[in-house]
């Protein structure tokens, strides 16, 4: 592992790198507050704006893949950390603010997400917020999960996203530039993801500037990390490293034995000349000399079994800082054609793009750069035109809310009592959650829930949240924002998504039927399930949230729903986790373990909500 860097600290490094990426193409700019690189003058024929991103450290992804023919905007988090939902929402707004000048209506938007928990949750929350803020916006997401090294585990997280993500961005970006609709691009994207397989290998780990040298055991000289991910995490297993041809052969074998509808078909039917693409990604620390030899060896072995790729690409497309390693990806072009017969995959790969990091790009100085309006002016114009007043959900809510509670004949004091009761219920359970999480997690669950409860109480005390000025959907929006900004972590993201989805399902008018009230949580739960694989029985906070929502919808009795939440939380005792850090606890030692701390927190929250509501009557 090399620990020497030109920049010895990571402070400010991400923004400086993004400035460099923006300097490579005069048609892209950097919005520094959100760390978003975006296209200034998108092509008028494009109907769909593609937005992608993730943690820094994977450069040139995704900033240098921003440009006509690929991404409309790319957003970056800190090193190996997902961007926040607020950052992603701003990236979405920048993409539509620039595109709308060429059209009378909002463009359609597709989010391309690599399958990591933080990215899934934060992009999912941003998507729900965009839908709530711009009701006429058509927006969807595509998850890239091309890693096949962990296909046979029982983890619900699913395969990770690897370097094949950039192939997806190129294909869909070219389809968008050709004028395809969101539905057409989404269909193509799903076919591409199904036909794409990748596996990575690392000879060692990377080093993050400014961090201490980790004490974790490095692979011995005769070993490598097979199944290496993009975030410096360990590989699927340590493998013997006898020779390059042996290593590459093992990697190709893993690819060809995966994805029944995609890559296995290549190995089964070579005589039918399945068309393929070979995509070799340098993780950052392999010399170009060796990378060329990797390409050659992979082609030699593929041709030996009758596979002759139609296109071959090799470059540092999506790196892991300075990791000495690479990934191999195979794309079954024929499989895509069977799913989407009208698409010419090779033509999309060959289509021109102004994204500077794509191999073979023909770039030059573009015309029509006379518009020098700054990003904030563009965002202000978009938000004002669409009725979004203020830069946050809470500001927007305070402006638009008002007469709901009076018309519904509901006491504002009682609503506030219910909110305070929910927060106090969480605070009373903080120590229990901390104790439980110390056994099965990293010990911060109690503090995380308490931070959210305190933020809501503080908003009530300082009157930055005035219940009498908001209706139920706006109140849920504010809760979602407060959870996102104060809690952090997976729990904060899940609750933020739930409340944001709840904002789109709660009744906005006092005359709406009561049925829409009691069914709103279950409908919000359906939206949440699109962004996390967590379900009842997986030992997460969903084990309490699900029975609460379903029971409320079935009975209309909030006390019965709270009882169901408590029973759900109690039911997680001794339950094996399949998500989160608790999933790494040895399954043979689950007997005698405490309840899931997140589920315990949800049960305390809804019980406190009931107590406050009944006491405030």
Q: How many residues can be counted in the chain?
A: 617
Contact between 56 and 160 under an 8 Å Cβ cutoff? The reply is no
Residue 558, SS3 per DSSP: helix
**Terminal Cα-to-Cα distance of the chain (whole angstroms):** 64
Listed in sequence order, the residues at least 6 apart from 473 whose beta carbon sits closer than 8 Å to its beta carbon are 132, 502, 503, 504, 506, 507, 508
CA 141 to chain centre: 9
**10 Å Cβ neighbour count for 565?**
29
Is 207 one of the annotated active-site residues of the chain?
Answer: no
Contact between 555 and 521 under an 8 Å Cβ cutoff? The reply is no
DSSP 97: H
Contact between 270 and 336 under an 8 Å Cβ cutoff? The reply is no
Contact between 281 and 268 under an 8 Å Cβ cutoff? The reply is no
Rounded Cα distance between 303 and 252, Å, is 12
Tokens of 448: 């995380």
Tokens of 395: 């500001």
Rounded Cα distance between 602 and 165, Å, is 36
Of 374, 347, 365, whose CA–CA distance to 67 is shortest?
Answer: 365
> Between β-strands 139-144 and 108-114, what pairing exists: parallel, antiparallel or unpaired?
parallel
Q: Which of 62, 231, 531, 546 is catalytic?
A: 231
DSSP 72: S
Rounded Cα distance between 206 and 4, Å, is 11
Rounded Cα distance between 411 and 468, Å, is 9
Residue ranges with strand state E in 348-425: none
Catalytic residues: 231
């Amino acid at each position: 592992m090399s620990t020497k860097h030109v920049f010895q600290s990571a402070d400010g490094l991400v923004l400086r790198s993004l400035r460099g990426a923006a300097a490579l193409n005069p048609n892209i700019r950097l919005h520094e507050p959100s760390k978003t690189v975006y296209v200034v003058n998108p092509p008028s024929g494009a109907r769909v704006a593609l937005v992608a991103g993730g943690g820094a450290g994977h450069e040139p992804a995704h900033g240098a893949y921003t440009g006509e023919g690929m991404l409309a905007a790319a957003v970056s988090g800190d090193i190996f950390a997902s961007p926040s939902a607020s950052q992603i929402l701003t990236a979405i707004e920048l993409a539509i603010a620039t595109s709308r000048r060429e059209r009378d209506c909002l463009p359609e938007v597709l989010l391309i997400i690599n399958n990591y928990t933080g990215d899934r949750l934060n992009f999912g929350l941003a998507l729900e917020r965009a839908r709530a803020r711009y009701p006429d916006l058509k927006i969807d997401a595509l998850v890239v999960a091309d890693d096949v090294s962990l296909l046979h585990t029982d983890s619900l997280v699913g395969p990770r996203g690897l370097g094949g993500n950039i192939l997806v961005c190129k294909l869909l970006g070219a389809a968008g530039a050709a004028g395809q609709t969101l539905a057409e691009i989404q269909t193509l994207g799903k076919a591409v993801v199904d036909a794409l397989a990748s596996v990575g290998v690392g000879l060692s780990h990377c080093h993050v500037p400014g961090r201490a040298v980790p004490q974790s055991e490095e692979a011995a000289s005769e070993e490598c990390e097979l199944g290496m991910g993009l975030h410096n995490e360990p590989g699927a297993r340590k493998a013997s490293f006898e020779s390059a041809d042996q290593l590459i052969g093992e990697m190709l074998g893993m690819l060809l034995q995966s994805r029944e509808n995609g890559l296995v078909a290549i190995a089964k039917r070579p005589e039918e000349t399945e068309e393929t693409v070979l995509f070799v990604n340098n993780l950052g620390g392999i010399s170009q000399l060796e990378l060329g030899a990797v390409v050659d060896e992979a082609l030699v072995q593929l041709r030996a079994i009758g596979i002759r790729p139609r296109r071959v690409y090799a470059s540092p497309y999506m790196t892991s800082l300075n990791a000495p390693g690479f990934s191999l990806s195979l794309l079954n072009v024929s499989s895509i054609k069977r799913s989407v017969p009208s698409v010419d995959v090779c033509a999309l790969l060959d289509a021109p793009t102004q994204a500077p990091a794509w191999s073979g790009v023909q770039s030059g100085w573009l015309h029509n750069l006379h518009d020098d309006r700054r990003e904030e002016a563009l965002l202000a114009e978009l938000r004002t035109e669409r009725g979004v007043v203020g830069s946050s959900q809470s500001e927007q809510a305070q402006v638009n809310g008002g007469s709901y509670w009076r018309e519904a004949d509901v006491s504002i004091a009682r609503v506030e009592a219910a909110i305070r009761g929910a927060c106090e219920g969480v605070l009373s359970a903080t120590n229990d959650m901390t104790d439980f999480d110390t056994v099965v997690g990293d010990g911060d669950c109690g503090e995380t829930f308490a931070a959210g409860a305190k933020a809501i109480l503080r908003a009530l005390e300082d009157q930055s949240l005035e219940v009498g000025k908001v209706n139920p959907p706006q109140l849920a929006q504010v809760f979602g924002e407060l959870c996102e900004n104060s809690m952090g972590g997976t729990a904060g993201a899940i609750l933020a998504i739930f409340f944001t989805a709840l904002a789109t399902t709660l009744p906005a008018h006092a005359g709406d039927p009561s049925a829409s009230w009691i069914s709103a949580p279950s409908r919000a739960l359906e939206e949440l399930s699109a962004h996390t694989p967590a379900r009842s029985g997986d030992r997460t906070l969903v084990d309490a949230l699900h029975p609460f929502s379903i029971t409320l919808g079935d009975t209309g009795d909030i006390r019965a729903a709270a009882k169901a939440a408590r029973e759900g939380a109690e039911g997680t005792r001794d339950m094996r986790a399949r998500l989160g850090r608790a999933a790494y606890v040895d399954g043979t030692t689950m007997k005698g373990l405490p309840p899931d701390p997140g589920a315990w927190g949800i049960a305390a929250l809804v019980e406190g909500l009931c107590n406050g509501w009944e006491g405030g009557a």
